Amino acid sequence: MGVNDAVNYVLFNNPVSSTVWSIAAQGARAAGLKPKAVTQTAATHTKAVVEQALPPMWKLLGHNRHIVRLAGLSGAAAVILGAYGAHYHFTPKDEDIQERDPKQIFEMTNRYHFIHSLALLAAPFARRPYLTTALMASGMSLFCGTCYYVAFTNDRSVVRLTPMGGFLLIFGWLSFII
């Protein structure tokens, strides 16, 4: 429910205000006025006033919009480099590389989950906040959900979904740029 819908509900569509408007309409009819036109004009006027008083959050940023874009680029780079670093072999080739232990997976997943939960707090400042929220939430669900599952069960049957979640997180960060 948007701000405009909320204001219209409070002023026109809830039971109390509907009763008040009904009484006003009966009085207007008795005076020879057209009450529907009055109500529609009031609703349209209220919506315009609300839109002027409460612009989208990203418009409130003004010149600081570049900071949000930089944060989006930085976040996307962090996810990309985190994925690269997680799969890069830092040990010499001749040493046996062991799989990660579940506690390591859990700690990494929990860190990504927490950081992206904080990033959701900035979603209202994106130009398309619902897109940013959908990408971040979907990415966290797929990426963190599958990693948590692997950490707790050691069942790797769901790991093919993990990269999709990672890409959604990257796209979520990049949505701050557009």
Domain identity same for 88 and 152: yes
From 12, 37, 52, give the residue that closes a domain.
52
Segment 16-23 shows an average pLDDT of: 66
Taking the CA atoms of 73, 75, 78 and 79 in sequence, report the sign of the dihedral they define. Answer: negative
Domain identity same for 61 and 143: yes
Domain identity same for 64 and 145: yes
Q: How confident is residue 139, by pLDDT bands cut at 50, 70 and 90?
A: very high
Q: What percent of the chain has pLDDT over 70?
A: 59
Its pTM stands at: 0.61
- Name which residue leads in pLDDT, 28 or 38: 28
Q: pLDDT (tens digit, 9 = 90+) per residue, 144-163?
A: 999 999 999 999 999 999 99
Q: How confident is residue 69, by pLDDT bands cut at 50, 70 and 90?
A: confident
CA 38 to chain centre: 38
Domain identity same for 75 and 155: yes
Domain identity same for 160 and 113: yes
Domain identity same for 29 and 66: no
Domain identity same for 156 and 76: yes
3 pLDDT more than 60? no
Domain identity same for 64 and 22: no
Extract the tokens encoding 154: 């050691």
Question: Who's near 58: CB < 8 A, 6+ residues apart?
Answer: 65, 68, 124, 125, 126, 127, 129
The chain-wide mean pLDDT, for the chain, equals 79
Segment 136-147 shows an average pLDDT of: 94
Segment 31-58 shows an average pLDDT of: 61
Structural domain boundaries enclosing 162: 57-176
Domain identity same for 42 and 69: no
Domain identity same for 20 and 63: no
- Name which residue leads in pLDDT, 63 or 87: 87
Domain count within the chain? 2
